[in-house]
Amino acid sequence: MKKIKFSKQTLDFLKKAGKQKQADWLDKNTKEYDEVLRKPFIDLAEKVKAAVRPLAPDYHFPSKGLGRIKRPDFKVAGGLPRYKDWISMIASRPSASRFESNPHLFFGLFPNEEDSILIAGGLWQPSSQQTRLIREAINKDSEPFKELFSDSKFKKSFKGAFYMQDQSTRVPRGFAVDHPDVEWLKLKKFVVYKKISMKEFTSPHFSAHVIQDFTQALRLNKLLDQAIKLNWPPR
């Protein structure tokens, strides 16, 4: 029996999809879609859910793993292409407010971007209140984050610390400009991410890598949750 796994054709298919204008293109290419995209994604989603959900029982894990790549007609009429050239899988706790999201686990394929295969964790679009609470936690005691980022298991998944490419130009009001972690205080998002190589992506053991990375990302998510809930420093 042929093992279900991703391949270079997965990314190639998404590139082709993003160029299509005919509404029935996917119908004519269903077999390829199933083999290179839908089946591998569903297989990954099922394995991730089985392994990681016991560690995060309050998270919602997509059971099918793959959303639609064909856009609704009204979005096409609004100027977007007929099909998406990217896909993603996100797991997080359901939000109690439509104005706030929760820390999440993320896997995405963006074949037309430099970082085409990504795994990430953390809080990508925090509200102003969440941002303030996390900054206050860092200001009060940043050691829990530093201990996590220096942990060997965490570093195996995410070599750096926070993703540092989206910061305020100035130190936020109320924080010292000479704070030892001032660069963290300037962050607008609190995430870690890693770029996945094609060799790892096409490996029959790729799901194990995703599970390992998600397991480590959950540790960051827990710290962010504690900061947001004013349970800081964690005991």
Which position has the higher pLDDT, 156 or 159?
Answer: 156
Q: Looking at the domain assignment, is residue 20 inside a domain? A: yes
The pLDDT of residue 235: 75
Q: What is the pLDDT of residues 104-147, one digit of tens each?
A: 999 999 999 999 999 999 999 999 999 999 999 999 999 999 99
Residue 56 pLDDT exceeds 90: yes
Distance CA(136)–CA(165), nearest Å, equals 20
Q: Can you give the C-alpha Rg of the chain in angstroms?
A: 19
> Is the predicted pLDDT of residue 1 greater than 60, yes or no?
no
DSSP string, the chain: -PPP---HHHHHHHHHHTT---TTHHHHTHHHHIIIIIHHHHHHHHHHHHHHGGG-TTSB--SS----SBPPHHHHHTT--SB-S-EEEEEEPPPS-TT----EEEEEE-TTSSS-EEEEEEESS--HHHHHHHHHHHHH--HHHHHHHH-HHHHHH--SSS--SSB-SSPPTTS-TT-TTHHHHTBS-EEEEEEPPHHHHTSTTHHHHHHHHHHHHHHHHHHHHHHHTT--S--
What per-residue confidence (pLDDT) applies to 180?
A: 95
The domain in which residue 13 lies consists of 8-228
Residue 233 in domain: no
Rounded to the nearest integer, the mean pLDDT of the chain is 93
pLDDT above 60 (res 215):
yes
Q: What is the pLDDT of residue 60?
A: 95
52, part of any domain: yes
Task: Give domain status of residue 123, yes or no.
Answer: yes
The residue-averaged pLDDT of 22-38 equals: 95
Over 90: is that where the pLDDT of 230 sits?
Answer: no
In a domain, 183, yes or no: yes
pTM of structure: 0.93
Confidence of residue 2 (pLDDT cuts 50, 70, 90): low
Does residue 3 sit within a domain? no
Q: Is the bond into 62 cis (omega within 30 degrees of 0)?
A: no
pLDDT at 174: 92
Query: Does the pLDDT value for residue 10 go beyond 70?
Result: yes
Looking at the structure of the chain, the number of domains it has is 1
Q: Is residue 208 assigned to a domain?
A: yes
Is residue 27 situated within a structural domain? Answer: yes
